[in-house]
Amino acid sequence: MVLLALLSVSMAVAADYSQQRRQMLEGIADDVRLTAEKINKTSFSGRVIRAMMTVPRHEFVPESLRALAYENRPLPIGYGQTISQPYIVALMTDLLQPQAGQRVLEIGTGSGYQAAVLSRLVAQVYSIEIIEALGIATRDRLKRLGYDNIETRIADGYNGWAEHAPYDSIIVTAAISHIPPPLVAQLKKGGRMVIPVGTRFQTQYLTLVEKDAQGAITTRQVLPVVFVPFTGGH
């Protein structure tokens, strides 16, 4: 009887989160409609939406904030960092156009949520976090949750991770005043990078960087955003 009761509670909790995830996706869809002209999209890839539905966001926020985990807004994760708004996670992921078999570099692991979403869509994610305590906790979380195609390291992400370059795409989850040249160099020809460009004192824009087959770079400002600042030597 006790086992059945526990199972019943577990199923109820899972059902609650399932409903909250659906509400999160509705919030994302609402934001897509509101920003359609700026992002040049009226919807996100079905693969991206399925990944957002699958990854348990409540596992990537502090336990005290789990009741808010599926609200369409950023939340603090400690160390002065945040987990991004689900709409922004979905937008950045969609802009990368992730494909099975690809390798992605992430700068700014944070709680690991963005990496977890990407891991459902590509072959391998490499992620760098500069804050040691946060990086260690997130590495352990990803391992506990079974995300075995994510490799993390603790370092200054400005110089990327040359050992595994070039990357099909690169995602940066902290704002910086310019696009780091080492990251451009580590991006494959035909690849895409999504990065918030700006500072605390000027408007930040989510920026799409594309490298064509000849290695030429084009950039497009997608949307005004507010991200925590890039830290480290640069």
Q: Which of 18, 84, 111, 119 is catalytic?
A: 84
pLDDT band at 5 (very low <50, low <70, confident <90, very high): very low
Asked if the model's pLDDT at residue 95 lies above 70, the reply is yes
The identity of residue 68, as a single letter, is L
Is residue 84 annotated as part of the catalytic site, yes or no? yes
Give the tens place of pLDDT for each residue, 170-180.
Answer: 999 999 999 99
Write 21-26 long-range contacts (CB < 8 A, 24+).
21/52, 21/53, 21/57, 21/70, 22/53, 23/70, 24/52, 24/57, 24/70, 24/71, 24/72, 24/86, 25/49, 25/52, 25/53
Q: Would the pTM of this model clear 0.85, i.e. be above it?
A: yes
Domains for the chain: give ranges and CATH numbers: 2-225 (3.40.50.150)
d(CA 201, CA 192): 27
| Alpha-carbon dihedral sign for residues 174, 31, 40, 224 | negative
pLDDT band at 16 (very low <50, low <70, confident <90, very high): confident
d(CA 25, CA 86): 8
